[in-house]
Structure 1
């Protein structure tokens, strides 16, 4: 079965590369940053009419049906390097509360699954309350949720960049009786100079 996915807050297309390498097809993407958009279009196959500039301006019911929603939603509001104002961050395009766009799309389109990625600081932001709100919001959309902080260096890439991955499965469309398991780490066999 060929699965379809959408790529929100797409950056230069990390999710696109991974899922298309698995034979999946991107049917919609959204990225605000102009330089990232140019890079994405130069490297990934997507019709420009399905490449949105600002997810807040999209009509969610017009987003093509898809099986998996992917989103690396803005992290500045949760990062240790930022002011950590969280879901209330209204600076530069409401980046802290753009998570709610994801929730609304899940409510309208009800894909089989989603994969979200953010900084590890999201887990402990506001003494864990921010992540609690996010988890409850996703569960209210009918998804079983799993999360884990993963490092690229634990999966064969010489980069220390811990990120939280949140994976959810639609209880009405996927058998959720078997728990999801994140992949096991693999030994790091290359260096940056390699």
Structure 2
């Protein structure tokens, strides 16, 4: 399967997906140091890339079977500020779901592979995740 690596970090999702035989067709990473590491660790030649998820248009994303993302968790983590999805960082989840809604159904991924912290299901008494 083909996948896009969003909030790519240094490529944890990518490493696992490639070891399982899947092909990365693009990545999005904002942090310049993580991005530099990602590009040195992985062969990104010819792949779609963007720095900021908020600057990405749905029609520019390559077709992929899977969208992998571990959106920033500082607002959700038990060790964080506990703002939930109303926080500046964790609300980036909605940037991804917005792109998903903008895609034509035939171009949407079959799977979303989402990783985040333990508190994701219980922050704000579970209302954020239910939303």
- Output the TM-score relative to the length of structure 1: 0.63
The match for 1:52 is 50
* Displacement of 1:106: 2.2
Task: Call closer, same or farther: CA 1:64–1:85 in 2, change over 3 Å.
Answer: same
Which of structures 1 and 2 has the bigger CA Rg? 1
- CA deviation map 1:6-41 (0-9, x unaligned): 000011000100111122111110011111001100
* Cα-Cα RMSD: 1.3
Q: Deviation above 6 Å: which 4+ runs of structure 1?
A: none
TM-score (normalised: structure 2): 0.91
Listed as ranges, the gaps of 5+ residues in structure 2 are: none
Pick from 115, 119, 122: which aligns with 1:121? Answer: 119
Measure the CA separation in 1 of the matches of 2:124 and 2:47.
39
Tell me, which stretches of 5 or more residues in structure 1 are unaligned? 134-194
Question: Which residue does 2:83 correspond to in 1?
Answer: 85
Alignment partners' CA distance in 2, 1:44 and 1:75: 24
Residue of structure 1 in register with 2:67 after alignment: 69
Q: Which protein, 1 or 2, shows the higher relative CO under an 8 Å CA cutoff with sep ≥ 6?
A: 2
User: CA, structure 1 residues 48+57, in 2 after alignment: closer, same or farther (shift >3 Å)?
Assistant: farther
- What is the number of residues matched between the two proteins? 127
Show the counterpart of 1:21.
19
Deviation at 1:48, TM superposition (A): 6.3
Q: Distance in 1 between matches of 2:73 and 2:116?
A: 6
SS of alignment partner, residue 36 of structure 2: helix
Distance 1:4 1:49, change over 3 A: closer
Equivalent residues in 2 for 1:26-175, closer than 5 Å? 26-47=24-45, 50-90=48-88, 95-107=89-101, 108=103, 109-133=107-131
Greater helix proportion: 2
